[in-house]
Structures are given as C-alpha cells and as structure tokens.
Chain A
C-alpha cells in the first residue's frame, strides 16, 4: 500500500498506458468495426488521462470533446450509414500482406527506438537524465494556451481554420447524392 501511494503517478501511468495499448491492439484486431470503434474510444480516453498527467488539462478536455465526442460519433454514423453488412471473418484482414506488414511495423518501430536510444547516448547526457521532467515547471494551463494560441500562433491558427473549411466543402461534395463522381461507364466490375 505504501508503495502504491509513494509511486502513485507511476502506477497510474503504467495502468493507463497498458489500457491504451490494449485499446490500440483492439483497433487493429477486432473484427467488427463497432468493436474496433469502442476500442479506439478507450484509447482516446486513456490518452486524455495521460494528457492530464502531463498537465495539459485543456488538451485533455479537447481530446475528450473532439475525439471521444465528435469524431467517434462521426465514425459510428459512418458505420451505420454504409449499412455494414458484416464482412466474413476471412475478409477482415488483407491476409496476403499481413505478415509482412507486421514485420514492417515492428522493424520500423524498433529502428526508431534504436534511434532514440542512440540519440540520447550521443548527447552524452544519458537517456534517462536527458528526458527527466523539469521539476515543478508547469508549462500550461488553459489561459496560457489561449494566450499563446491567439498571439504567437495566430496565423497558423487562421490557416488551420481554412483547412477545416476546405475539408468541410470537400466532405459535402463527396457526400452529395447527385455528385457526378458517377460510375465511369463500363469500367465497374460485374
């Protein structure tokens, strides 16, 4: 018990991290899209908790609102809209490339990990020491984020708003029923 209290943050972190990874695995492996979506939701919430642990409270709120709230609903709607017919179990994965794909993912991941380790070695500060948290310095609360966002990063902020606008227009055009994306005559496979 004492150990738990003394290392509360570490215990919390590893629990949450495990849950997040479990969610991630669920997204990749669960067969039914709705199940995968629920697993994704779990990961979103766990990541939000991690944000709080890193004192990014505002972002945690945004994460829950936008991701868990907005985007997730969007996905569920999409699943509903396309009248998902339930793929046969053998159709869920691209079985042909799956082994190679997993190999590739693991390979790239381990290479990046090596890179990180090498990098911290190269700086000579010793990996752990270099990455240790800076004491009590709390970089962000909502006010500070807002302040920086609307002064220093105003132009990128405006640009991103344009990106959203463009995405919105694009989504509307794709989604229009009369959209002449139309079936190219004769090329549709029987």
Chain B
C-alpha cells in the first residue's frame, strides 16, 4: 500500500476531527486543550498524508496521467438514453484522483489549512468551551469538504465537496449567530451561492447528456477527440459551469456575499474567504479546461467577467474604512485576475495565482486579525495607526504580504500577476479566437487594477501601522503583540509570500530559461492541447517591456498612497478629493449601490410578487367566485320572479337548478380546500372535453 493509494484518507482525517469535536466535545464541553489537539491532529494528519502522497506519486508514477482511486460504487442509475441516441449506464463512483492540478491544490490547501488551524488556537481562546469546539468542528468539516473537492475524480464528487464548503462557509459566517447581521450575512452567502450552484448542477446534467460520463478523464478524452458532439455543447457546459464559479468565487454579478462574509471570525475569512474556498471556482474552471479550450465564447465570457470584476471591486476597495472590507474587495479583485487568466487560456497562471494569493492574502487576513485582536475588536482603520511600534512581527509580515500583492518584484504576487498580464497581452497580440481587441482591453483593465491594488493596499498599511494611534489613550494601553500560535503562521506565510513565487513559478521566459518554471512544467498535462501553440508569440524585449509597465503601474499606486496617507497625517488630500468629486466618492463608498439595487429589484421583487399573487388569490379569485355566486343568486332570483309571473310551473326547474348551483358557489367562495379541489376536477373534465371536441 502506498500513500497515494489511500488518497481518500486525506479528507477523512479532518472529518474524524469534525465528528469528534462536533458530537463529543461540543456536547460535553470538553476543555479547549482537548478540542484543539484533536482538530490540529485532524488537519495535521491530512497535511502530512497529503504531502507524502503527492511526493510518492511524483516519484513512482507517470505524472502525465491522473491516478484514480475508486473507493466505492456510489450511483448506479440504470441505463439512460443520451445525446445521439446512445444508451449508456449512469454509473458514478466515489473516486478520488491525484494528478498535477490536484497535487498543487492538495499541497497548499492542507498546508495553509493547518497553519490557520494553529492560528485559530490563539485567536479563538476567549470563546466558551462549547463555542470553541463548535468552531473547530466546522473548521475541520470545511477541510474535509475542500479536500474532497480538490481530489474528486468526477463532477458529482466535486459537487459534494462544493456544497460541503458552501455549507461550512454558511455555518462559519454565521458563527456569531446571536448577532442578527452575522446570521443574515450567512444566509446571504448561502442563497447567492445557491444561484450559482443551480448553474453548476445544470452543467453536470448537460455533461452527462452529451458525453455519457462524468469522470474528468473520460470528459477530457471525449473533448480531445471531439467527435459526435455539437460545438455548442462545450459552450453550454462551459458557461453554466462558470455560473457556478461566479457564485462560489464571488464574480460579478454574484460577488455581493463575499464582503458581508467578513462577519465571520477572522481565521475563517483567511481560510475560506481568501485562501481556499473562493478559489474553488478557479480550480473547477481549470479542471474543466477542456470545455473552455474548445469554446471561444465560454472563454471570452470568463475573461470579460474576470477582468471587469478585477477593476470594479478594486475601485470599491479604494475608499472602504473597515480593514477587513478592504481585504474582502481585494480578494474579489484578485479572483477576477484568476478568471482573467483562465479566460485567456492560461489555466496554469490562474492556479499559480491561486497558490501565491493563498500565501499573501491568508497572511494579510491573519495579520488584520492580529491587529483587530490587539485593538480589542475595532475594525475601523480611522481609529488605528502607529501600530508599527506595538506589534513588530505583525507589522513586518503584513508589509511583506502587502508588497507581494502590490506586485513588486521579485515577490510572489509579482511573479504570478505578471504571468497573467503577459498572457492576456499575448492573447491580444495573437488575436486569440478572433477576439484580440477585447483581450487587449482586458489587459489594460488588468494593468489599471494592478495600480489600484497597490494604492489601496498601501493606504491600508499607512493608515494602520504608520502615523500615531487614533483610537484614544485607553485603547493604546491594550495594544500588544499576539501570542506565538498567531505570529508563527504569520511568519511562515510572510516568508512564502516573499520567496514562494520564485520557488514554484520562476519566470524563466524572462531569462531564456523556460524550463525553470516548475509549475508550468508540472501542470502542462492537465490542460487540453497545452504546448500545441509552439513557442511564445511575445518577443523577448516586449516581455521585459511588459514587466516594466506593470511594475511602473504598481509603483505609481504606492507613491500616490504614500503622498496621500503617509506624508500627510491629517489625510487632507484624499478628503479634498472626495469633496471635489462627491458623487464619485459616494458611489464608491456605497459600493455602486449594488446591494441596494438587488434589494430594490430581485429581493423586493420576489417579496412583492408573492404578495401580489396572494392579493390576486384573495381578491380576484375569491372575488370572481363571489361575483359568480352573487350574479347567479341575482339571476336565479330574477328568473324565479320571471317564472312565477310569466310561465311558472315546469320552467320553475331552471330557477331551482340555478339556485342549487348558486348555493354550491356560495360554499366555494368561503375558501375551503375542498371547494378548490372541486374546481380542479371540473377543470380537468373541461380540459378533457375540449380535447375530445378537437380530436373528433
């Protein structure tokens, strides 16, 4: 038995931890030491086993082919007729696979996950024993779902993980459920995600309908051979999958839940809403790249949405004052970059950015958690400042991660972001799929986004760590550095933010050393048709030119931030700017009023629609029945009078029938369920009657 034959144990370890903490520790209120020991053991075992499996697999197996482990037969659905009249058995196994993409995801998810578990030990120590157990139970459950997601070898298993992480996200956002707004944020995340999941589910159905299999390997082969399936199939499936990714990875128009998700504890924001879960959409698009590679439309959709999101949310991040909100919008923006990369066919660059982003954004979130911890729960940056002196470790790790996300060479963020921008530019230059102009435009957007990123991140650093403390004397006394369980993860992640990029994705093309980019070589077999385009379309000089341009954009952003927020402690310049352009400022501060827009259209639309239907039922339906009853009563009365006076006798019967009928109608009108049932029966009879009349 090898480690990778038992790859399914990786998600199972944290599941055991979750079960113990959720069912035993939470019930009995066991001491915190027991709880976090079990949780750390679960996450740690997953980490060690996962890395061991990846290393052993790389050494002993052919890394060009996914290694699939079937655990048990899950769905046996009999035979189904699919596209083209083929009849295939619906059989899905609970199977896991390890290939280059899974290996990369497994590597960093287990590692970052463990670090954040460690950090939580320090961060959550003031909770009650039972809440502590609940927290770690959810966190371990999340690890289980996320690891299932990245190691599943078919769409249904991926979907199980997908829903699992969504559930854990909901539970953890609403962790402080006694506060209304936290519970509401959790529900918002869940509902918005459901919209995306609907698309994902449809995509799974379509995939089976067209290909008769749901295994990634089988789908990859079918798409590589591309015969017997209409070209539209790839577009339909690709776009629907992307709808799912929009929800999970917070892209326009479904991004609204992520900023609200900051209601959860900070380690959760770091683990779920920055490093791992929100990148599940990117992972899924990269995993299903074979659909996108064959559908220019789907690719363009992904790229445009990604590019637009990158800039849109960056502009909102410019003016936010809540430290976690800035980071949240920054996350949305960085996710946009990842999708931009996927949309230009650079899936490897997308995954590379996922990994580096996990390093520096987790570091930033954990750092902000450390800051909030020190400030006694204060999240408003206007009440911070000067923290550099009080918390040196947090300060240097935070700055390292900020420089990385701003895109200053040679830190991790620069390497991956530059790779994305270069690929976007290349797509424009080679006129990819005939949409060259659009891709050029997206490159421009990406560049603007890079400058904005540098600006708002340095604004955050200057407002938080420089200047003097603005939170009052009393709060200043409480400022303290965090315990080692919190600073150790910070330091590890900061070091990775600095060297991680060069380590795994050395930009070899800049130095005529193409083979040096480990991730590119390692992941090449995952992408359909990778390497078929031949050598680079961008010349060596142009490549360096692009680097210079993107670095210049970042430096410009930093300099503006320094001028606004460092050299002028009263922040007079940005205030003057806000007063000169009040509308633009309020537009950004209120996040383009998107939440209000959704509230006014979708939400109140639904509420009003339901109310309207209720009114229709109460007024129109009941009213109509009422009216019918009244008119029948009236007419029967009239005809009764008429009969008595004019004909009487036999014709009396007519009146009697009317009378009986009207009595029945009167029964209906009072709204008994059985009255409605009767209307239904008559309706069915009338329908049948009409049908016969037409048929004969």
B is bound to A: yes
Interface residues of A (CB under 8 A from B): 94, 96-97, 99-101, 104-105, 107-108, 111-112, 114-115, 118, 151-155
Known: A97-B675, A99-B664, A105-B681. A154 touches B76 (CB 8 A): yes
Going nearest first, the 9 A-B pairs with the smallest beta carbon separation are A96-B667, A152-B78, A104-B681, A111-B688, A155-B77, A100-B664, A108-B685, A107-B685, A97-B667
Does B663 sit within 8 A of A, measured CB to CB?
yes
In this complex, what residue of A is CB-closest to B667?
Answer: A96
Chain A residues near B556: list those with CB within 8 A.
none
Q: Of residues 652 to 688 in B, which have CB atoms within 8 Å of A's CB atoms?
A: 660-661, 663-664, 666-668, 672, 674-675, 678, 681-682, 684-685, 688
Does B75 sit within 8 A of A, measured CB to CB?
yes
Give bound CA distance, A111 to B685, whole Å: 7
Chain A residues near B666: list those with CB within 8 A.
96
Decide if A101 touches B689 in the complex (CB within 8 Å). Answer: no
Chain B residues near A154: list those with CB within 8 A.
75-78
A to B CB contacts below 8 Å, 26 in the list: A94-B667, A96-B663, A97-B664, A97-B667, A97-B668, A97-B675, A97-B678, A99-B660, A99-B664, A100-B661, A101-B681, A104-B685, A108-B681, A108-B685, A108-B688, A111-B689, A112-B688, A114-B692, A118-B692, A152-B79, A153-B78, A154-B76, A154-B77, A155-B75, A155-B78, A155-B90
Does B535 sit within 8 A of A, measured CB to CB?
no
Decide if A151 touches B664 in the complex (CB within 8 Å). Answer: no
Does B512 sit within 8 A of A, measured CB to CB?
no
Chain A residues near B661: list those with CB within 8 A.
100
Give bound CA distance, A154 to B675, whole Å: 39
In this complex, what residue of A is CB-closest to B76?
Answer: A154
Does B477 sit within 8 A of A, measured CB to CB?
no
Does B695 sit within 8 A of A, measured CB to CB?
yes
Interface mask (B631-645 → A, CB under 8 Å = 1, otherwise 0):
000000000000000
In this complex, what residue of B is CB-closest to A112?
Answer: B688
Chain A residues near B682: list those with CB within 8 A.
104, 107
Decide if A101 touches B678 in the complex (CB within 8 Å). Answer: yes
Decide if A118 touches B695 in the complex (CB within 8 Å). Answer: yes
Decide if A104 touches B90 in the complex (CB within 8 Å). Answer: no
Which of B77, B672, B685 is the one whose CB lies under 8 Å from A94?
A: B672
In this complex, what residue of A is CB-closest to B695?
Answer: A118
Chain A residues near B664: list those with CB within 8 A.
96-97, 99-100
The minimal Cβ–Cβ distance linking B223 to chain A, given in whole angstroms, is: 26
A interface: dominant SS: helix
B interface: dominant SS: helix
Chain A residues near B692: list those with CB within 8 A.
111, 114-115, 118
Chain B residues near A152: list those with CB within 8 A.
78-79
Give bound CA distance, A150 to B664, whole Å: 50
The minimal Cβ–Cβ distance linking A100 to chain B, given in whole angstroms, is: 4
Known: A94-B667, A108-B685, A115-B688. A100 touches B77 (CB 8 A): no
Chain A residues near B660: list those with CB within 8 A.
99
Give bound CA distance, A182 to B79, whole Å: 48
The minimal Cβ–Cβ distance linking B436 to chain A, given in whole angstroms, is: 47
The minimal Cβ–Cβ distance linking B665 to chain A, given in whole angstroms, is: 9
The minimal Cβ–Cβ distance linking A152 to chain B, given in whole angstroms, is: 4
The minimal Cβ–Cβ distance linking B547 to chain A, given in whole angstroms, is: 54
Which of B78, B663, B667 is the one whose CB lies under 8 Å from A151?
A: B78
Chain B residues near A107: list those with CB within 8 A.
682, 685
Give bound CA distance, A153 to B79, whole Å: 10
Give bound CA distance, A115 to B101, whole Å: 60
Quick one: which of B666, B667, B695 has the most chain A CB within 10 A?
Answer: B667
Decide if A94 touches B674 in the complex (CB within 8 Å). Answer: yes
In this complex, what residue of A is CB-closest to B78?
Answer: A152
Decide if A151 touches B685 in the complex (CB within 8 Å). Answer: no
Give bound CA distance, A80 to B675, whole Å: 28
Give bound CA distance, A100 to B661, whole Å: 8
Give bound CA distance, A179 to B664, whole Å: 36
The minimal Cβ–Cβ distance linking B184 to chain A, given in whole angstroms, is: 21
Decide if A155 touches B685 in the complex (CB within 8 Å). Answer: no
Q: A96-B667, A108-B684 are in contact. List 10 more A-B contacts (CB 8 A).
A: A94-B672, A96-B663, A97-B675, A100-B664, A111-B688, A115-B692, A154-B76, A154-B77, A155-B76, A155-B78
Decide if B678 touches A100 in the complex (CB within 8 Å). Answer: yes
Give bound CA distance, A81 to B688, whole Å: 42
In this complex, what residue of A is CB-closest to B689?
Answer: A111
Give bound CA distance, A162 to B507, whole Å: 53
Give bound CA distance, A109 to B593, whole Å: 58
In this complex, what residue of B is CB-closest to A109?
Answer: B685
In this complex, what residue of A is CB-closest to B681?
Answer: A104
Give bound CA distance, A99 to B656, whole Å: 13
Give bound CA distance, A117 to B233, whole Å: 44
In this complex, what residue of A is CB-closest to B666?
Answer: A96
In this complex, what residue of B is CB-closest to A94?
Answer: B674
Chain A residues near B689: list those with CB within 8 A.
111
In this complex, what residue of B is CB-closest to A105?
Answer: B681
The minimal Cβ–Cβ distance linking A92 to chain B, given in whole angstroms, is: 13
In this complex, what residue of B is CB-closest to A106?
Answer: B685
Give bound CA distance, A114 to B668, whole Å: 29
Give bound CA distance, A115 to B672, whole Å: 30
Give bound CA distance, A118 to B59, whole Å: 73
Give bound CA distance, A112 to B684, whole Å: 10
Chain B residues near A153: list those with CB within 8 A.
78
Chain B residues near A101: list those with CB within 8 A.
674, 678, 681
Quick one: which of A97, A101, A112, A152 has the most chain B CB within 10 A?
Answer: A97
